[in-house]
Amino acid sequence: MNPRRVAFDVLRQVTGEDAYANLVLSKRLATAGLDTRDAGLVTELVSGTCRLMGTYDRVIEAASGRALSTLQPAVVDLLRLGAHQLLGMRMKKYAAVTSTVDLARATVGQRVTGLVNAIMRKLSAHDLDGWLDVLAAGADPLDELAIRGHHPRWIVEAYADVLPAEELPAALAANNVAPHPTLVVRPGLAKVQELRGATPARFSPFGATAEGAPSEQTAVRQGRAGVQDEGSQLVAWALSHTAAPEGPWLDLCAGPGGKASLLAGLARQQGTWLLASELQEHRTRLVAQSLGAYPDGTVTVVADGTKPAWGRAFSRVMADVPCSGLGALRRRPESRWRRSPEDVTALGSLQRELLRKAIASTVPRGVVAYVTCSPHRAETVEVVNDVLAEHPGATRLHAPDMLPDVPDAALGDDIQLWPHRHGTDAMYLALLSVE
């Protein structure tokens, strides 16, 4: 199977069917029968094209002198892949142009090969930096930062709202580097030391990185370890050792199960158990699978966190609410171009309601962890501020006290992690004490 054809098929699903690149890519590679080298090429073609898609779209329009809307969607995807080979991977002009024209002939048809050839040759007039100079000419400072950092302007503005100006280029650049998978051991079931060739994580006592596929680790195959970003590990760990009365724990939005698995092990070590609740049935199955290695101490249910069937019963509650995912742009390359400010606004009421129900589910002197994988103020501090204003009996704890060895993580009394500072996803955490 031609690896470029595989990459094209995956990209068509991403752009034409709104599929998630990482999921489609994984499924396609599992059946394509490619060797390691060609599979790596497909991964780079898909991930790299998706990551810089907005930039490539502007370059294609500038080079061709026509709007993308005047081209067939399949031709646009062919040109995006060609642009990444020319500009992102720096392939030689002849190889990039010829392979893209050949792919156009095999997929769309002979009639578009002349057009594809002409535009590809125009794309080769500059390297990527040269095209960025063209696009940035006359732009204001934020627009130029967005262009050179390969992000929509509205995301740059959201980052600028919470980061010093001098850090913005590094923060955007960090989103353009695919992360190495981080492993996590399940407390009570495995230790970091038994992971073969592992280097302990920078901050999490449960995390490590190792060469090779995670599935090559025996503990991962047995469910005693898994894959989980270190930032996700840290927010669960912070909740686990915040002072709270004895009693069961709740993961209010548990899918797909990473934090639930870590919380379950930590709860068992403290002599209690975890209820993992998830609204969507297929995600609940993923949670149950993730928790499956524990012989006891967990209960998984399909439930709506905004309409809980339980009362005020839990000493610790994790509310990892649905969010825009702006904190995980490095691992979800297409999402920066797929999301919009309206998506952030639309999630606000759900996030607030879930936090209200988390507070209502917590026993006196219990603790709620409000978590998002987003640094956007509208999904983080503004949500917490609004809900606290309604609940005079709930107070903010100084969350950085729970992660004293993690530098530069404080956002007032809350925690904001960053890829460029900590090597983690941009996880946000607020800890609330409930009276």
> Alpha-carbon distance 263 to 250, whole Å?
9
Q: How confident is the model at residue 333 (pLDDT cuts 50, 70, 90)?
A: confident
Are 125 and 269 in the same domain? no
Alpha helices in 183-292 (DSSP H): 218-221, 230-240, 258-269, 281-291
pLDDT for res 421: 98
Q: What is the pLDDT of residues 206-249, one digit of tens each?
A: 999 999 989 999 999 999 999 999 999 999 999 999 999 999 99
Pick the catalytic residue from 50, 253, 323, 373. 373
Are 153 and 274 in the same domain? no
Q: Is 253 a catalytic residue?
A: no
Q: What is the pLDDT of residues 412-431, one digit of tens each?
A: 999 999 999 999 999 999 99
pLDDT for res 198: 94
Could you tell me where the beta strands, DSSP code E, fall in 38-113?
Answer: none
pTM, 2 dp: 0.95
- Tell me, what CATH number does 125's domain have? 1.10.940.10
Are 64 and 162 in the same domain? no
Are 237 and 158 in the same domain? no
For residue 208, tell me if it sits in a domain: no
How many domains are contained in the chain?
3
> Alpha-carbon distance 224 to 209, whole Å?
16
Q: What is the pLDDT of residues 166-189, one digit of tens each?
A: 999 999 999 999 999 999 999 999
Are 112 and 149 in the same domain? no
For residue 199, tell me if it sits in a domain: no
For residue 182, tell me if it sits in a domain: no
pLDDT for res 293: 95
Give the domain extent around 312. Answer: 221-434
Q: What is the pLDDT of residues 76-115, one digit of tens each?
A: 999 999 999 999 999 999 999 999 999 999 999 999 999 9
Judge whether residue 372 has pLDDT over 80: yes
Are 274 and 419 in the same domain? yes
For residue 115, tell me if it sits in a domain: yes
Are 109 and 169 in the same domain? no
Are 357 and 227 in the same domain? yes
Alpha helices in 315-413 (DSSP H): 335-338, 341-360, 381-390
pLDDT for res 1: 72
Are 98 and 158 in the same domain? no
For residue 97, tell me if it sits in a domain: yes
The DSSP H or E segment spanning 262 is: helix 258-269
Mean pLDDT of the chain: 96
Are 366 and 290 in the same domain? yes
Are 225 and 320 in the same domain? yes
- Tell me, what CATH number does 368's domain have? 3.40.50.150
Query: CB of 208 within 8 A of CB of 197?
Result: no
Domain boundary among 129, 163, 184: 129
pLDDT for res 9: 97
For residue 137, tell me if it sits in a domain: no
Question: What percent of the chain has a predicted confidence (pLDDT) above 70?
Answer: 100
**Stretch 328-355: mean pLDDT:** 95
For residue 266, tell me if it sits in a domain: yes
Query: CB of 105 within 8 A of CB of 75?
Result: no
Question: How many CA atoms lie within 13 Å of 274's alpha carbon, on the beta-carbon side?
Answer: 32
For residue 211, tell me if it sits in a domain: no
**Tokens 């509205």, located at residue:** 154
